[in-house]
Amino acid sequence: MQVYQAPLRDMRFVLDELHSDDGFGDLPALSEFTPELTTAVMEEAARFAQEVLAPLNRSGDEQGCVHENGVVRTPEGFKDAYRQFAAGGWTGLASDPAWGGQGLPETVNKLVEEMTCSANLSFGLYPGLSHGAATALESHGSEDLKRRYMPKLVSGEWSGTMCLTEAHCGTDIGLLRTRAVPQADGSYKVTGSKIFISAGEHDLTQNIIHLVLARMPDAAPGIRGISLFLVPKFLPNEDGSLGPSNGVSCGAIEHKMGLKASATCQMNFDEATGWLIGEAGKGMAAMFTMMNTERVSVGIQGLGVGEAAYQAAVWYAKDRLQGRSLSGTKNPGGPADPIIVHPDVRRMLMTMRAFNEGCRALSGWVSRALDAEKHSTDPEVQQRAADFVALMTPVVKALFTDLGHESAQLAIQVYGGHGYIRESGVEQYARDARIAMIYEGTNGIQALDLVGRKLGANTGRLLRSFFHPVAKFIEESGGEGPMKPMIDALGKAFGALQLSTATIAQRGMADPEEAGAAASDYLRLLGLVAMGYCFARATRIAGLQLMFGKEDKAFYDAKIKTATFYFERILPDATARFLAIKAGKKSMMALDAEAF
């Protein structure tokens, strides 16, 4: 059964307690967003997610989107839900007030994104893509383009997309064929076809603004010859009203295993009028502004689905009666005990719980860095924050989506045979979560980005943004006390990460395949250590609250117990990842291609 209650208490812990001394300092530009204000915002977001979005999740999956004569209709209830979402200001929650946004911190925005994705991931893709498009346009667009399009994107009146992929090239964007021919008035005529375009066509907004990668005539081959163009579905008039159709059409929608209420479109551009965003030949740099924003958001999608799957599994484990407890009857008045008493069910539930709390804590740290990068008045802090975001973006995208899908699979296992049939609602989580490991760059691509670009960038400066605070925490928290086993475990895993980093650096310079063979294991290892660091910090805070605090004792006690499970049952995987990295590429690459 699909049930969802926003985990507001844990969200407030991450927002107001966990990262209060993360080294980024106070951000005066965000001082008006007090805990009282942000709590009110999150409570209202929770109400909307629980009461409006969640009831549409299963029905949206069953109905799906419909494509007829070039028009896409979203499932019943989506248009009204989107109208309420935009009217409530959620589309511009973290956007600049200069464009009509509310300017809230990313730390709050990411928590609201999580609630939206937990309640209805298909719905969340529509405004999520608009936010990414607006980010790219604001960073690279001309003043005239921003004046024309930013207010409408921020308000949600219009929506946005990113149009990269073509059928013949997939991830290798340098092979794209879409053309952009310059016109006398400074515009371009864009012609080509794109596939897998989320929210490319739908009935939620009046206009859809496509950010399209294309190649100008005589452009250089490969990535260097690609430019980015803004191509609206309808050409706007000077007063902002809608003008004529612009040669943009949807040829079909994909028939997917999940996210059926999110329209994934094959888009055709037939001499559609567009305008250059940024510099000619530097379209990928501009698009990466959107892609990096989306990659963090896709990680949040994994967390959102993982939380929803966990809650559904807990509900069922408490309700389903089957067997008796190994330690003696727990439900003497009934024919059997609830399955939550069984150790293996507890293993699955605790794994899901630890995944969610660890990802939420790490997301809070990355979100703090996003805010510091944008709002800090200290250039050194801004640089350190930017380094940390760059390092952690592939980790958030890949790790969170891996774990979210694993949680969805565990939820099905908790339900047993009932989890495998549609009526339970939990199999949808596994189907919906699966794509998040693929789009915005597959998780393997994220791992290659981490080891191939991020580790060696600026002579390891990005790594120092993470290594230094972790090393300092371990050193300051050593010695005796109840946290000693956690600190010892964290220290051991951190040591494995350091040795793995050195191994990859040494071998990768001589043989790039060695770095490629280690990439996915290294990303998981880095993510495990990062979550362990967050759990250790959370435990220290919880211990102090239990010692001196007067409220929420049950919450802080559960926080420590969840952290203990993480250190004892999940973090040991760090050692296995280190051993796999140490083994190198030999066995992975030994078999001839013809032998497969």
At 256 the pLDDT is: 96
Q: Tell me the per-residue pLDDT of 86-95, one tens digit each, with 9 for 90 and over.
A: 999 999 999 9
302 is a domain residue: no
Length of the chain: 596
Kindly state the average pLDDT of the residues 127-147.
94
DSSP-assigned letter for residue 321:
B
Place of tokens 């371009």: 188
Q: What pLDDT, on the 0 to 100 scale, is given for residue 394? A: 97
Q: d(Cα 262, Cα 129) in Å, to the nearest integer?
A: 11
Between CA 212 and CA 348 the distance in angstroms is 43
Mean of per-residue pLDDT scores for the chain: 95
Residue 134 is assigned to a structural domain of this protein: yes
Q: How far apart are CA 176 and CA 407, in angstroms?
A: 36
Decide if 423 is catalytic: no
Tell which of 224, 248, 281 closes a domain.
281
- Strand ranges (E), 263-400: 264-277
Domain assignment of residue 334, yes or no: no
Last residue of a domain, one of 265, 281, 297: 281
Taking alpha carbons only, the member of 351, 338, 320, 335 closest to residue 419 is: 320
Residue 213 structural domain: 27-39+52-281
H or E element in which residue 67 lies: strand 66-68
Catalytic member of 114, 357, 440, 514: 440
Residue 247's region, left for phi above 0, alpha for psi from -120 to 50, else beta, is left
CATH number reported for the structural domain that contains residue 183 in this entry: 2.40.110.20
Query: Considering 263, 281, 299, which residue would you say is the last residue of a domain?
Result: 281
Looking at residue 482, its pLDDT comes to: 80
What pLDDT is stored for residue 379 in this prediction? 94
What is the tally of structural domains in the chain?
A: 2
Closest CA to 111 of 32, 7, 204, 211: 7
Place of tokens 């989306």: 294
Instruction: Using a pLDDT cut of 70, give the percent of the chain over it.
Output: 99
Q: Are 394 and 454 in contact (CB under 8 A)?
A: yes
pLDDT at residue 170, rounded to an integer: 66
- Amino acid (1-letter code) at residue 145: L
Question: CA angle, 302 as apex, 299 and 306 as ends, to 5°?
Answer: 145
Residue 171's pLDDT band, with cuts at 50, 70 and 90, is low
In this structure, is residue 313 part of a structural domain? no
Over the stretch 184-193, which tens digit does the pLDDT of each residue have?
999 999 999 9
Token pair belonging to 541: 């805070």
In-domain check, residue 528: yes
- List, for residues 268-312, the tens digit of each pLDDT value: 999 999 999 999 998 888 877 777 888 999 999 999 999 999 999
Q: For residue 25, what pLDDT is reported? A: 83
Q: 489: how many CB neighbours lie within 10 A of its CB?
A: 19
d(CA 110, CA 363) in angstroms, rounded, equals: 8
